[in-house]
Structure 1
């Protein structure tokens, strides 16, 4: 006898598969429970997260450009050059903000979908699907809940007895980035407020050169943390998405009467498949009954 989830041989000495934890006789996907495709969404989320990390790193390295502009302003005693430096940094930061909003939206939707799929896998997570969304948005809770949701998704999707180390790496780096970026921004704001608003001599212009020189090193800490968090999260998203999609494909056979051989409602005039019955042209029973397609009416479940 083989496990319907991972295909490993099962032993009557245990009540569940020793590889994936599926109970004997339980289908890979429970009949009648909606499931959601995650591979394409996971790819889009990964690209958006990667782009966000790259753009943040570029904005963090802006002091290298700021020092040049500040020195040029000091040589020419031209305040307009300093104003140009401020505008240039704004132009560098805007793409990061847009990418971050897109990435955040895709990550929240992806988290909700992979968590909802656990219900169809017969898992027993402690975090509800609602927390897959609210956990990112509720203050204080967003420091704890998202990692708990993703940790459970990773364990049940990747057949791990413990939380994968990649989850710990991702969330640790994310906290360093999230907190560090706020601390650095607050420090820079205080230092910038102490600068002379309208510099007139070499000494006052030199303070702007010092400001950009001292800003670079603190910015590198959240920048490196951002790259580590993004890289580890992208790997997690790809592994979880691939594992869930493979499980969905393994569980649902291509019954005759489904349009294009895909799971969904039977084609008009075609008989609905009977759970446990053999499909025509096959020699054995189907491992699972057809799944009910996701309902229409929401952006996340669309």
Structure 2
């Protein structure tokens, strides 16, 4: 059996940092909205012409870059925790995971299938060991919030570049703030999910004296 307590703590800490990073992004979205678009117009002025960013816009680029880096690290730490949980679930249940190892990573980045495979991988960790139990509700809350955050266009895999997000903050900040809030809450739900699934598995292992 692979130890999971330390991996769970690292994942929860990483989620806390990622949530903080997204709160910072939300603060900068508000600052941009309050400041308003400069008289010189948007950063992308068309025909390949870009004006130099002002100090606030430049600082947002920094906040966004740091936030993206922290979020990427969070994803890696989360998947390392999930990998350990999958291995333990296989040992406890004696059955292979529903989704093969490549899907642990590819399921997040391949279009269309990334709408359900990551949740399926997580759910399988619990169901394979506890087939008689209902899936903890926090798993569905986490996944629903995660998808809602991605739909806001500012998730890990988003269509707008930083300059376009700045333009959105100037023209209508409320959808951005809603997406920020959803992702922060999703991070909290993910942390609770990690705690719930890890505790259940560790108690099961202790009961079987592994």
TM-score category by the smaller chain? Answer: 0.7 to 0.9
Structure 1 distance, partners of 2:59, 2:162, is 20
Superposition TM-score, scaled by structure 1 size: 0.56
User: Which residue in 2 is equivalent to 1:28?
Assistant: none
1:62–1:89 CA contact under 8 A, matched in 2? yes
Between structures 1 and 2, the one with greater helix share: 2
- Equivalent residue runs for 1:133-282 within 5 Å: 133-157=105-129, 161-182=133-154, 185=160, 189=164, 192=167, 212-252=169-209
Structure 1 distance, partners of 2:125, 2:147, is 20
User: Which residue in 1 is equivalent to 2:42?
Assistant: none
Taking a change above 3 Å as real, the CA distance of residues 91 and 153 of structure 1, as seen in their structure-2 partners, is: same
1:53–1:230 CA contact under 8 A, matched in 2? yes
Give CA-to-partner distance per residue, 1:232-258, whole Å, 9 cap, x none.
1111101111222233333336xxxxx
Q: Which of 29, 41, 45 pairs up with 2:7?
A: 41
Structure 1: any 5+ residue segments left out of the alignment?
Answer: 1-34, 75-79, 193-210, 254-302
CA deviation after TM superposition for structure 1 residue 148, in Å: 0.6
User: Which residue in 1 is equivalent to 2:18?
Assistant: 52
Matched residue count? 195
Superposition TM-score, scaled by structure 2 size: 0.78
CA deviation after TM superposition for structure 1 residue 67, in Å: 4.5
Q: Which of 84, 99, 104 pairs up with 2:75?
A: 104
Structure 1 distance, partners of 2:4, 2:142, is 20
2:89–2:126 CA contact under 8 A, matched in 1? no
Query: Helix, strand or coil: the match of 1:181?
Result: coil
CA deviation after TM superposition for structure 1 residue 99, in Å: 0.9
CA deviation after TM superposition for structure 1 residue 168, in Å: 1.2
Structure 2: any 5+ residue segments left out of the alignment?
Answer: 40-50
1:151–1:163 CA contact under 8 A, matched in 2? yes
Output the aligned Cα RMSD: 3.1
Between 1 and 2, higher relative CO (CA 8 Å, sep ≥ 6) is seen in: 2
